[in-house]
């Protein structure tokens, strides 16, 4: 069979536990994968619902389905055909158990990417395992493909929080838009750009203090372009390194306009992490 099936009660993070993504004989790309097509009305409809409640991540997956990265198969296959990709696949069949093993990550040097990652995830109450279940909870079981392209796709998902940490963009409203723009340059799905700039419009509309919102998002896009694709990096080689060294290696510089926006909001007595709360409460 090209695709696996699972009982609906199984969590998304458990649906492919039977697959050895490090196996040398794992197919590179199984036939029959769906063609990437755009559906703008579907994207806009789900975005409007997401605006009403930014925590409703069930609306995120349909947006990405409607605005996919049409060249994603070519990009994945181009990387997977390299010896470096196969070496990383053998060492890192899944990033989830690596990133969620904070006990081992905490053994790495102080100031390392591993330590900063653990601090961030624990402070925010997040986990790599939880991200899998949250983003994939509305994905039908028949859409899980047992091949190397899925391994590549999984890494795009699992490196999301690392992008937050490395870029310096927080999980506030503006930070999320900047990370989306950063991600667009790494993984050019129009959904990233659509969500990033549409979200920036919402912030600009609701904010009572004028700050460089769009410049911050545009800067995030430029930062992502300057950085090599994180999904194609050996994450286990980066985790023990000092975070500033990792940033230097990846050509990531501290964001200017994002930090400026935060400073301006705080000077006006506005908490950047509670920026959208009044509008949500009134919705």
On the question of pLDDT at 237 being above 80, the answer is yes
277 three-class SS: helix
Per-residue model confidence as pLDDT tens digits over 54-77: 667 678 888 988 999 999 999 999
**pLDDT tens digits, 81-134:** 999 999 999 999 999 999 999 999 999 999 999 999 999 999 999 999 999 988
Q: Which of 133, 139, 140, 187 is nearest to 159 (CA)?
A: 187
Of 167, 157, 194, 244, the C-alpha closest to 38 is: 194
Q: How far is it, in rounded angstroms, from Cα 60 to Cα 71?
A: 20
Most confident of 60-74, 136-150, 169-183, 266-280: 169-183
Helical packing angle, 72-80 and 83-91, nearest 10°: 90
pLDDT at 278 over 50: no
Of 162, 172, 177, nearest to 217 by C-alpha is 177
The secondary structure of the chain in percent helix, strand, coil, rounded to multiples of 5, reads: 60, 0, 35
Q: Distance between CA 13 and CA 51 in Å, rounded?
A: 27
CA 4 to chain centre: 25
pLDDT tens readout for residues 107-122: 999 999 999 999 999 9
Backbone angles phi, psi at 159, to 5 degrees: -90, 5
**How many other C-beta atoms lie within 10 A of the C-beta of residue 205?**
9
Helices (H), 125-256: 128-136, 148-158, 160-167, 173-186, 190-206, 213-226, 235-238, 243-249
For the record, the structure tokens of 145 come out as 């493909």
Work out the angle at residue 39's Cα, subtended by the Cα atoms of residues 128 and 196, and round it to the nearest 5 degrees.
50
| Whole-model pTM over 0.85 | yes
């Amino acid at each position: 069979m090209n695709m696996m099936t699972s009982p609906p009660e199984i969590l998304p993070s458990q649906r492919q536990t039977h697959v050895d993504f490090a196996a040398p004989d794992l197919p590179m790309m199984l036939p029959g994968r769906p063609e990437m097509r755009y559906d703008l009305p579907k994207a806009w409809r789900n975005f409007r619902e997401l605006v009403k409640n930014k925590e409703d991540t069930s609306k995120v997956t349909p947006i990405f389905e409607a605005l996919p990265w049409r060249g994603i198969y070519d990009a994945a296959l181009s990387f997977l055909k390299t010896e470096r990709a196969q070496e990383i696949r053998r060492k890192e069949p899944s990033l989830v158990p690596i990133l969620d093993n904070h006990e081992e990550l905490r053994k790495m040097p102080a100031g390392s990417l591993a330590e900063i990652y653990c601090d961030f995830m624990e402070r925010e109450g997040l986990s790599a395992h939880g991200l899998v279940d949250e983003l994939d909870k509305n994905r039908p079981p028949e859409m899980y493909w047992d091949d190397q392209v899925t391994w590549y796709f999984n890494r795009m998902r699992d490196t999301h929080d690392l992008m937050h940490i490395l870029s310096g963009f927080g999980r506030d409203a503006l930070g999320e838009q900047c990370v989306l723009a950063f991600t667009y340059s790494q993984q050019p799905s129009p959904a990233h750009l659509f969500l990033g700039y549409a979200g920036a419009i919402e912030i600009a509309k609701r904010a009572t203090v004028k700050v460089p919102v769009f410049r911050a998002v545009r800067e995030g896009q430029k930062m992502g372009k300057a950085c090599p694709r994180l999904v194609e990096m050996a994450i286990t080689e980066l985790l023990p390194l000092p975070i500033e060294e990792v940033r230097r290696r990846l050509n990531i510089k501290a964001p200017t306009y994002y930090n400026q926006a935060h400073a301006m909001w705080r000077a006006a007595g506005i908490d950047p992490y509670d920026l959208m709360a009044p509008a949500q409460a009134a919705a």
